[in-house]
Amino acid sequence: MSFAKGGERKLEKVSVIETPSYDQTVVNAAVARHFQLHGMEEKLHPGMKVLVKPNLLLKRRPEEFTTTHPTVVEAVIEALKGYGVTDIVIADSPGGLYTRVQLAAIYRASGMEDVARRQGVALNLETGSGEVSAPGARCCARFTLIDPVRRADMVVSVGKVKTHGMTGLSGGVKNLFGCIPGLMKPELHCQFPEKGSFGHMLVDLCECVRPGFTVMDGVEAMEGDGPSGGTMRRVGLTFAAENPYALDLGLCRLMGLDESSVPTIAAAKERGLSGGYGEGMEIVGDFTDIAPIPGYQKPRSASVDFSAHVPRMFRRPVAWLEKKASPKPVIRRQGCIGCGKCAESCPQKTIAIVEKKARIDYSRCIKCFCCHEMCPVKTIDIKRNLILHR
């Protein structure tokens, strides 16, 4: 694929197109422009096996602005067909169990089942996977990937613009975490509990999968406590790039996020895969720059590094205090339905269902916020220490 590798630098395009609604004609036109602006006619040809990989996360309807909207996925398929590509499969490994029953329910709720039927493309319901080596890896030399990823000639990642409790941003790079089957994702959270190492792992995964193109649905984005518990922010834009690191820099700019606070971007910079916003980048389409959206709400889990701003002799105790006072997931017992999705997704197995309610053992909690992400009734909040918050 074409994005920078191992320190090689070139001018990377990020296209931004006004997409004011999910009207299929409007979205088709926007996505077609994205493909044209990036010269995808030179990279796509009949006979290719292309995987369209949306962000499905959990069983949510399109109007709940948590999953990639089906009109965007359908527009990507229309664009691929326009270049003669017909061997297309829609596939994702959402959170929780990777089973045929679970996949079918999520595809149906998210609208992917209808898209596949209308377009006459395959909808992956198989649950096979296999190991793939990750060249130049920093943390993970091998990944277990779902079969549709391993078989594809090209992966087209179609994500949803959202904030994220752990990584700050759910963008092009983070969307690839859905290439890992089911409950192997919590295992990676457990193996890499710190944000820095988790970011490097996700970059290793991105370098392993190497998506050929990334499209991001920002028509209705999410702000606040994403990727599933935030609020809708109407942005009215779609984004695309061949280089997912450049695309994520643009999304950071849009949300007003500090690049250094997003572990995937920090890891990519450290490894020479990315610069800062505007470095080696070209914004094309309806804009020549990406302006921050005033008041875009950040996750309450966003960390504040006070220890870097105090004398060296005080840094260790201040860092300890920060850790103790850092945000944590809190279950509202009244709203908890005892479904066990939080316990199922917890990497450290710190959650138990007691008397039909979930309880967290904070002594072992790594604050990855997987429980918050996977709660189907949004009854797990991210709470800050009140003194630190003030």
Q: What is the domain range of residue 90?
A: 12-285
Q: Give residue 209's pLDDT.
A: 98
Residue 259 structure tokens:
């690049």
Residues 366 and 330 in one domain: yes
Residues 174 and 279 in one domain: yes
Residue 2 lies in a domain: no
Residue 390 lies in a domain: no
Q: Give residue 123's pLDDT.
A: 98
Sites in the chain below the pLDDT cut of 70: 1-10, 302-326, 384-390
Q: Give residue 307's pLDDT.
A: 41
37/31 Cα distance (integer angstroms):
10
Residues 90 and 18 in one domain: yes
Residues 66 and 154 in one domain: yes
Residues 358 and 281 in one domain: no
Tally of structural domains, the chain? 2
- Domain of 21, CATH number, reads 3.40.50.11440
- Domain of 376, CATH number, reads 3.30.70.20
Residues 245 and 148 in one domain: yes
Q: Give residue 380's pLDDT.
A: 87
Three-class secondary structure assignment of the chain = CCCCCCCCCCCEEEEEEECCCCCHHHHHHHHHHHHHHCCHHHCCCCCCEEEEEECCCCCCCHHHCCCCCHHHHHHHHHHHHHCCCCEEEECCCCCCCCCHHHHHHHHHHHCHHHHHHHHCCEECCCCCEEEEECCCCCCCCEEEEEHHHHHCCEEEEEEEEEEECCCEEECHHHHHHHHCCCCHHHHHHHHCCCHHHHHHHHHHHHHHHCCCEEEEEEEEEEECCCCCCCEEEEEEEEEEECCHHHHHHHHHHHHCCCHHHCHHHHHHHHCCCCCCCCCCEEEEECCCCCCCCCCCCCCCCCCCCCHHHCCHHHHHHHHHHHHHHCCEEEECCCCCCCCCHHHHHCCCCCEEEECCEEEECCCCCCCCCHHHHHCCCCCEEEECCHHHHC
Q: Give residue 370's pLDDT.
A: 85
Residue 291 lies in a domain: no
Residues 201-224: tens digit of each pLDDT: 999 999 999 999 999 999 999 999
- Last residue of some domain: 285, 316, 334? 285
Q: Model-level pTM?
A: 0.86
- Last residue of some domain: 252, 285, 318? 285
Residues 298-331: tens digit of each pLDDT: 998 765 444 444 456 655 664 454 455 568 889 9
| Distances 332 to 60, 166, 297, 336, 355 between C-alpha atoms, Å | 21, 20, 22, 6, 14
